[in-house]
Amino acid sequence: SVGSSSTSSFSTSIIDRNNGDSNLPVSSSNSSSFFYDIPRTLRLALFGLADGAVSHVWFLTVDSVVGEGQGLVDTLIKTAADALVYTPLWCAWFLVFMTCIEEKKDDSTIANRIQSIPSVWKSDWLELFRGNLGFFLPLTGLIYGF
């Protein structure tokens, strides 16, 4: 959980929150506790590759349904669609992806990880969704508007 993270930076909290590695410090005011976690970086890079492809398809789909216009009405419709359709699904998908590929210290199997997905959604989805809306919604409006 986020509360057990050794750092309070916003970006680290989001990363820790999203991939379950909250016990691994990414940055700290004490430089002697800093280390680079290669497996975690690879997990996030792998998700980023998949996310880029899915996001591209989403943007193409929204443009084909709403139109490629960038006026106020089109921007509001696209931003609302993003907030009400894409973002909730993205949050669920992100949690599934990270749950399935996260590094486990115990002997959990992929089947156990898959079985844990409903509890991960229950405990983490709403906070992730709120964080995404709070941070990315204004940026999304800018993307659709320009």
Output the DSSP codes for 7-71. Answer: ---HHHHHHHHHHS-TTS-S--SSGGG----HHHHHHHHHHHHHHHHHHHHHHHHHHHHH-S--S
CB contact at 8 A, 16 and 5 = yes
pLDDT of res. 60? 94
Q: Is the pLDDT confidence value at 12 over 70?
A: no
pLDDT tens for 101-112 read 887 767 778 888
Taking residues 17-21, report their average pLDDT.
47
pLDDT of res. 109? 86
Q: Which amino acid is at 20?
A: G
Question: Residue 126: pLDDT band by 50, 70, 90 thresholds?
Answer: very high
CB contact at 8 A, 144 and 59 = no
Interatomic CA distance for residues 67 and 78, integer angstroms: 9
Interatomic CA distance for residues 91 and 75, integer angstroms: 22
Question: Residue 35: pLDDT band by 50, 70, 90 thresholds?
Answer: confident
Residue 106: burial class (beta carbons within 10 Å; 0-12, 13-18, 19+): exposed
Interatomic CA distance for residues 107 and 100, integer angstroms: 13
pLDDT of res. 73? 94
Residue 98: burial class (beta carbons within 10 Å; 0-12, 13-18, 19+): buried
pLDDT of res. 132? 94
- Residue 56 or 106, more confident: 56
Q: Is the pLDDT confidence value at 18 over 60?
A: no
Share of the chain above pLDDT 90, in %: 60
pLDDT of res. 31? 54
